[in-house]
Structure 1
Amino acid sequence: MIYIVTLSYVRPLDEVNAQLDGHRDWLIQHTKAGRILVTGPLEPRTGGLLLVRCADRAGLDRMMNEDPFVVHRLVEVEVRAFTPMLRAAAFPAEWAEEAKPI
Structure 2
Amino acid sequence: MPSDVVRRIGASTLAEIEVPMLYAVILKYVRPIEEVRAHLDTHRDWLVEHTKKGRILVAGPLDDNSGGAIISHCKDRAELDEMLASDSFTVHRLVDHEIRGFTGAMRAEAFSSTWAPEAKPV
**Shorter-chain TM-score: what band?**
over 0.9
Instruction: Normalising by structure 1, report the TM-score.
Output: 0.98
* Residues 66-85 of structure 1: pairs in structure 2 closer than 5 A: 66-85=86-105
The offset of 1:39, in angstroms, is 0.4
Cα distance in 1 between the residues matched to 2:75 and 2:113: 16
Cα RMSD of the aligned pairs, angstroms, is: 0.5
Counterpart among 58, 61, 82 of residue 62 in structure 1: 82
- Runs (4+) of structure 1 moved beyond 2 Å? none
The offset of 1:32, in angstroms, is 0.4
The offset of 1:44, in angstroms, is 1.1
Q: Bigger CA drift: 36-45 or 87-96?
A: 87-96
Q: Which has the higher helix share?
A: 1
Aligned partner of 2:31 in structure 1 is 11
Larger Rg, first or second structure (1 or 2): 2
Instruction: Normalising by structure 2, report the TM-score.
Output: 0.82
Aligned partner of 1:36 in structure 2 is 56
Matched residue type, 1:98: E
Counterpart among 69, 94, 98 of residue 114 in structure 2: 94
The offset of 1:75, in angstroms, is 0.2
Aligned partner of 1:21 in structure 2 is 41
Where 2:114 maps in the other structure, the secondary structure is helix
The offset of 1:89, in angstroms, is 1.0
